[in-house]
C-alpha cells in the first residue's frame, strides 16, 4: 500500500486547509481514516476531528465512494472493489497555537496531528507529502525533500511530527555542530535576528555536547511573534514557539525567550528520541499515561536555564536568583504535600491541563517540581561521586541505552523495570532507592538547603515584614503584618476570591473561591491593594470580621489571622565556602561545548562575528 498526502490553501481567508490522502494498493472491503485526538508533547485530549468538514472519498476515476463516520474521529470508506482511493476533507484552522493549525491571509501553519488523518493499520508505512502553498508563499518544513514542495516521511509519526510554515516569513540560516539550521519567523517585534541566530547556535552546540552530537541532518526553528505568549512544542527535527513580539528586550525578557528555545531544543533528545515506552509509537485516539513526565519535562526545564548559565547568556548571579524564584514558587504550593512527581506525571491529562481553584492545594506541576528535583539529583550525583559523574553522564547513558529505534524506557507501572533509576545506578555505582522513594514517589518537603550549601550557596527565607510596602517608607508599619491565606482577583470592579489555601485562616473562616469580598472590618474592600494594606497593619492572632457575597447572598464570617509564611526565598553566595564547594560549582557551570561564551543578555549588543544569511519578508 502506498500513501500520498496533499494539502492546499486556495482561499486562506476562509481558514480552510484542503487535504487529501491518496491510497493505492488497498485491499479488503473498506478503509478507516482516523484523526488524532491529541498532539504529542501536549498531554490533553483536544479532539481535532471537530474541525474536519466536507469529508468525501473517490476512486481513481473520480467516482464517489460511500463514507460513514463511525465515531468522533473515524471515517470508514467502502472500497467496492477499488484498490485506489482518495479521501478528501477540509480542516478549519483558526487557532494560532503551537498545538493546532492556523490559516489566514497572512500565513499558513500546520501542526500535523491537527491536520492529517492516518489509515488504520498503516501508520508504519512511508508516505509522501505535497504542500501547495497560496500564490507567492513559500514553505518551510523539517522533512526530507522529494522535489519542489514535495517531501517524504518514513511513517505517519514522522509525517505529523514535522509542522510546516507557509507564507512570506523571514528565514535566518546558520550552521551549528556541523549541521544546517534555519529560523523561520512569522510576525515582527523588537527582535535582533543576528543575535537570535548567534545565541541559538551556542545553545545547539552546548546541548549537542551533552548528548555527544546532533541526531538529525537539518533543524528548523519556527517562531510566531504576536501579542501574547503561548509557549512551545517540540518535534524531532524542529520546534515551534509562540512568543510575545516584544520578548527580545529588555534582557530578562530575552532570557525567557532563550530559556524557551533551550527547553524545546533539549527535547530533540529528551522525549523525542529518549522516551518512555508508551510515548511512541503513539496511540493517537486516547490518553497515553506515563509516570516519567517529570524526567521528560522537568529535567528538560532544569537544563534550559542551566545551559544559559553555562554559556554566559545569563550571569551566575541571575541563575542563582532564578533558582530561588523557582523554589519560592514550589514552596508556596500546598499541593506539593499531596501529589507525587510520578502521579503528577501520570495524571497530567486530568490535572495539569485542567487546573481549578483547588489545584494549588492538591496538585504540583511535574515541570516545576521536576526541574528542582533535576537540580537536586545533579548536585547529589556530583557530591556523592566527588565530581566524577553528573546528570550529564546519566542523560548520555540513557540516550545510548534506549535509542529512538528501540522500545523506549520501561517503567514499573507498565510491568517493566524502573529503567531510568536503573541507568542512574549503573552510571554512578550507587543506590538511589531512598532518593526515589522520597522525591519521585513521595510527597515530603524537599530540603534544598543542604545540597545548595555544598555548592557554596545559602538559601534563606524572607518574610513579608522584612520587605516594607513599596508605597511606604521603611518603619512606617508598627505591626508585623498577618496572613489570611487567600488570593483575590479583580473582575468587573469586584474583588473575587481566586484561591483559598489549605490550612489557612481564610479556609477555617469558610471563605470559598468565587466569593465576592466586599468588607474588611466593616470597610469596603475596593481593590487588592486595600486588602493587602489592612493585613499589613495587623498582628498574628488578631480576629477580623469579613463580609462577602456568595451566589448573591451576604455572608459574614470571622477569621483569626496567622503569622506570615515566607514571602520568598533568596539564594546567596557564601563567601566562606570551602574549596571543594567552589570546585563543584565551577565544574557544574562549565560549558561542555567548544563554543565561545556569549556575553550576558543584559550586557548590550553581541560581539561582532560572521553574520547569518537573512531572507526578508516577501523575497
Confidence of residue 594 (pLDDT cuts 50, 70, 90): low
Same domain, 343 and 449: yes
Would the pLDDT of 450 be above 70? yes
Same domain, 237 and 347: yes
Same domain, 163 and 182: no
| String of DSSP letters for 359-410 | HHHH---TTHHHHHHHHHHHHHHHHHTTTS--HHHHHHHHHHHS-TTS--B-
Same domain, 202 and 124: no
Quote the DSSP letter at residue 30. E
Q: What is the pLDDT of residue 596?
A: 41
The percentage of residues in the chain with a pLDDT greater than 90, rounded to a whole number, is 90
CATH number reported for the structural domain that contains residue 250 in this entry = 1.10.390.10
Q: Structural domain of residue 368, as residue ranges?
A: 175-456
User: Is 74 within 8 Å of 33 (Cβ atoms)?
Assistant: yes
Would the pLDDT of 467 be above 90? no
- In the chain, how many domains are there? 3
Same domain, 103 and 217: no
Would the pLDDT of 500 be above 80? yes
Confidence of residue 414 (pLDDT cuts 50, 70, 90): confident
Q: Which residue from 171, 166, 179 is spatially nearest to 219, judged by alpha carbons?
A: 179
Would the pLDDT of 186 be above 70? yes
pLDDT tens-digit series, residues 93-146:
999 999 999 999 999 999 999 999 999 999 999 999 999 999 999 999 999 999
CA 427 distance to own-chain centroid:
28
Q: What is the pLDDT of residue 300?
A: 98
Domain boundary among 401, 423, 456: 456
pTM across the whole model: 0.92
For residue 615, tell me if it sits in a domain.
no
CATH number reported for the structural domain that contains residue 511 in this entry = 2.30.42.10
Same domain, 219 and 105: no
**Grid cell 493549525 — which residue?**
101
Q: What is the mean pLDDT of residues 68-72?
A: 96
Pick the range with the lowest mean pLDDT from 124-138, 226-240, 325-339.
226-240
Q: What is the mean pLDDT of residues 307-320?
A: 97
Q: Which residue from 251, 258, 270 is spatially nearest to 370, judged by alpha carbons?
A: 270
Sequence-separated (6 or more) residues with CB below 8 Å from residue 77: 30, 31, 32, 33, 57, 65, 66, 67, 85, 87
User: Is 585 within 8 Å of 375 (Cβ atoms)?
Assistant: no
Amino acid at each position: 500500500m502506498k500513501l500520498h498526502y496533499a494539502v492546499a490553501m486556495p482561499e486562506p481567508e476562509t481558514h480552510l486547509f484542503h487535504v487529501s490522502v491518496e491510497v493505492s494498493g488497498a485491499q479488503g472491503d473498506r478503509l478507516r481514516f482516523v484523526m488524532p485526538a491529541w498532539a504529542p508533547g501536549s498531554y490533553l485530549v483536544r479532539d481535532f476531528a471537530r474541525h474536519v468538514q466536507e469529508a468525501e472519498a473517490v476512486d481513481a476515476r473520480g467516482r464517489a465512494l460511500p463514507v460513514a463516520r463511525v465515531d468522533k474521529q473515524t471515517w470508514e470508506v467502502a472500497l467496492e472493489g477499488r484498490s485506489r482511493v482518495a479521501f478528501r476533507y477540509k480542516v478549519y484552522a483558526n487557532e494560532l497555537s503551537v498545538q493546532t493549525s492556523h490559516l489566514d491571509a497572512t500565513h499558513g501553519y500546520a501542526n500535523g496531528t491537527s491536520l492529517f488523518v492516518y489509515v488504520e493499520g498503516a501508520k508504519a508505512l512511508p508516505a509522501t507529502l505535497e504542500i501547495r502553498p497560496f500564490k507567492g508563499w513559500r514553505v518551510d518544513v523539517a522533512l526530507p525533500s522529494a522535489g519542489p514542495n514535495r517531501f517524504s516521511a518514513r511513517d505517519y509519526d514522522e509525517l505529523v511530527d514535522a509542522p510546516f510554515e507557509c507564507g512570506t516569513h523571514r528565514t535566518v540560516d546558520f550552521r551549528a555542530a556541523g549541521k544546517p539550521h534555519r529560523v523561520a519567523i512569522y510576525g515582527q517585534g523588537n527582535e535582533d535576528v543576528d543575535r537570535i541566530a548567534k545565541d541559538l547556535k551556542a545553545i545547539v552546540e552546548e546541548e549537542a555536547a551533552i548528548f555527544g552530537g546532533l541526531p538529525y541532518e537539518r533543524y528548523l526553528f519556527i517562531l510566531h511573534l504576536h501579542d501574547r505568549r503561548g509557549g512551545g512544542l517540540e518535534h524531532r527535527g524542529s520546534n515551534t514557539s509562540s512568543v510575545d513580539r516584544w520578548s527580545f528586550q529588555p534582557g530578562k525578557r530575552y532570557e525567557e525567550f532563550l530559556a524557551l528555545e533551550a527547553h524545546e531544543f533539549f527535547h530533540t533528545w529528551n522525549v523525542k528520541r529518549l522516551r518512555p515506552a508508551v510515548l511512541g509509537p503513539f496511540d493517537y485516539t486516547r490518553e497515553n499515561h506515563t509516570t516519567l513526565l517529570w524526567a521528560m519535562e522537568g529535567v528538560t526545564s532544569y537544563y534550559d536555564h542551566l545551559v544559559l548559565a553555562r554559556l554566559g547568556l545569563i550571569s551566575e548571579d541571575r541563575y542563582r536568583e532564578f533558582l530561588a524564584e523557582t523554589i519560592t514558587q514550589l514552596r508556596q504550593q500546598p499541593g506539593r504535600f499531596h501529589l507525587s512527581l510520578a502521579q503528577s506525571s501520570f495524571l497530567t491529562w486530568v490535572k495539569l491541563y485542567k487546573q481549578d481553584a483547588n489545584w494549588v492545594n492538591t496538585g504540583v506541576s511535574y515541570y516545576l517540581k521536576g526541574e528542582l528535583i533535576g537540580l537536586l539529583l545533579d548536585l547529589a550525583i556530583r557530591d556523592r561521586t566527588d565530581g566524577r559523574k553528573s546528570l550529564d553522564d546519566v542523560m548520555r547513558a540513557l540516550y545510548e541505552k534506549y535509542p529512538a529505534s528501540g522500545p523506549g524506557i520501561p517503567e514499573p507501572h507498565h510491568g517493566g523495570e524502573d529503567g531510568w533509576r536503573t541507568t542512574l545506578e549503573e552510571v554512578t555505582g550507587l543506590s538511589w532507592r531512598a532518593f526515589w522513594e522520597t522525591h519521585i514517589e513521595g510527597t515530603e518537603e524537599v530540603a534544598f538547603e543542604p545540597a545548595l550549601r555544598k555548592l557554596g550557596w545559602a538559601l534563606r527565607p524572607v518574610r513579608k515584614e522584612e520587605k516594607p510596602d513599596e508605597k511606604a517608607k521603611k518603619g512606617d508599619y508598627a505591626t508585623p503584618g498577618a496572613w489570611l491565606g487567600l488570593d483575590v482577583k479583580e473582575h468587573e470592579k469586584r474583588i473575587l476570591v481566586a484561591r483559598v489555601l489549605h490550612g489557612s485562616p481564610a479556609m477555617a473562616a469558610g471563605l470559598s473561591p468565587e466569593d465576592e469580598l466586599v468588607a474588611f472590618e466593616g470597610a469596603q474592600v475596593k481593590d487588592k491593594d486595600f486588602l493587602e494594606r489592612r493585613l499589613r497593619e495587623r498582628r498574628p492572632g488578631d480576629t477580623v470580621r469579613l463580609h462577602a457575597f456568595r451566589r448573591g447572598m451576604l455572608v459574614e464570617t470571622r477569621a483569626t489571622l496567622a503569622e506570615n509564611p515566607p514571602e520568598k526565598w533568596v539564594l546567596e553566595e557564601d563567601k566562606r565556602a570551602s574549596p571543594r564547594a567552589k570546585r563543584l560549582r565551577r565544574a557544574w557551570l562549565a560549558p561542555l561545548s567548544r563554543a565561545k561564551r556569549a556575553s550576558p543578555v543584559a550586557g548590550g549588543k553581541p560581539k561582532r562575528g560572521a553574520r547569518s544569511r537573512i531572507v526578508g519578508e516577501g523575497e
